[in-house]
Every structure is written in C-alpha cells, then in structure tokens.
A and B are shown apart, each in its own frame.
Chain A
C-alpha cells in the first residue's frame, strides 16, 4: 500500500512570509497527526485529527499556525507569519486505529517537509 505522502519536501522562506504544507495519509486511516521536529530533538505533536475533527491542538501555536483536514482525508498545515524558530522538519503521520482500549497505536510517518526560515 502507498505510504503517507507529503509535499513539498523542502521549503525556504524569509521570516514573516507564509507557507503551507500538504499531507495525504494512508487510505482509510482515520487519525492524522502533524509533528514538528527541530534539529537535534524528537518530534513534538502539533495537532491530531480524528476524521475531520480536531482531537488535540494544545501544543499548536494558534497565533501563527493553522491546520485543517477537509473531508477527513488530506490535510494542510499553514504558518503565517513564519519566524526563525519555525525552522524544522514537519512530519505528518496517520494511524488506522482509534479509541481507548485498543492495543495498537502504530503510526506511519511521511518523509517530512524541511522548512528553513531565513
């Protein structure tokens, strides 16, 4: 089966510009996640969707970051305006399972988008 697709793979912008990332999860996966991975650190969750609803966006800087998942499939993550500290790899992941009590929460990751803010 096809994996999680992300585009673009690389993006370079100047501070205060806006940027958008796109993610297409594995077909049939109900849950979609966006993570931010700053160089030298582990990925940090930004937002979690269940179908087209937001489950957790507690760590999303809502003054500049926004995300949507229309129709419960593809998702876009936007930054406006970008700051220098937003330079990172943005990872999208999807999971086929949902709900408490289930044994498996394996997530499948895309290749990521590397953002450089100058």
Chain B
C-alpha cells in the first residue's frame, strides 16, 4: 500500500522569502513521486517528478524537491516566493513496479503569499 502525508495544511510566506512544503511518503515498492499544483478553478498541473534518476529534481517556476529515501521525504522548496505561487499543492506517490500505477494524493497544502 502507498500513502502520502503532507505535514502542513496551510503555509503562509512573504513575497521574496523561501518556500518549504513538507511531504512524507510510504510505499511498498519503488516509488515515483510528484508535486502537482492547483490554482483556483484550474486543472492540476505537474510541477516536478522523481522517477529514480537524480534525487534532486528541478521543476517549473523555480521549484525543486529532494528525494530522501532514508527519511521517506520529498519536500518541495523554492528560494523566493512570488505572488503567483499562491495555490494548493499536492504531493503524490505512485508505485512504479505494479500494473495499477494510479496516483495517491496527499491532502494538500494551501500556500499563501503575503505582499
């Protein structure tokens, strides 16, 4: 079985300061890990993905995440927040070794960016 825990339901930062959204996962197999972003009334957009290559993954809009197997974590970071980053962020796990391959989503972290 696979599961994801997003440790913060809400995160508030000031524009220009760093962003850290925390995620821990559980997987019986070799996981693929993703971060998706959802802006209000818009579809889910893939930010970045880890699929067993480099453990530090760079995504769109300056976001990056580091896969740490020993800590079962996949935290999302950005050096400097922008107002347009305000959205809901989902950490997602998928088992690469099974035919099921569906995504298991965390409960989401709402990022607020203060001017």
Residues of A within 8 A of B (CB): 31, 33, 40-45, 48, 55-56, 91, 93, 95, 98-112
Which of B97, B103, B106, B108 has a CB less than 8 Å from the CB of A101?
B97
Report whether over half of chain B's contact residues are helix, strand or loop; otherwise say mixed.
Answer: loop
CA distance A42 to B6 in the complex (A): 11
10 A/B residue pairs, CB under 8 Å, sorted by A: A31-B101, A33-B103, A40-B108, A41-B107, A100-B101, A101-B96, A103-B53, A104-B51, A109-B45, A111-B43
Please provide the chain B residues from 70 to 105 with a CB less than 8 Å away from any CB of chain A in the complex. Answer: 90, 92, 94, 96-105
Q: Contact between B108 and A41 (Cβ–Cβ < 8 Å)?
A: yes
Which of A56, A101, A111 has a CB less than 8 Å from the CB of B100?
A56
A45-B102, A55-B100, A56-B100 as given contacts; A103 in contact with B52, CB under 8 Å: yes
CA distance A106 to B47 in the complex (A): 11
Q: Contact between A112 and B46 (Cβ–Cβ < 8 Å)?
A: no
Residue of B whose beta carbon sits closest to that of A42: B105
Residue of B whose beta carbon sits closest to that of A31: B101
A41-B108, A42-B108 as given contacts; A104 in contact with B32, CB under 8 Å: yes
- Residues of A near B42 (CB, < 8 A) are 111
Report whether over half of chain A's contact residues are helix, strand or loop; otherwise say mixed.
Answer: loop
CA distance A107 to B45 in the complex (A): 10
CA distance A40 to B53 in the complex (A): 32
Q: Contact between A100 and B102 (Cβ–Cβ < 8 Å)?
A: no
Q: Contact between B51 and A103 (Cβ–Cβ < 8 Å)?
A: yes
Which of A41, A107, A111 has a CB less than 8 Å from the CB of B103?
A107
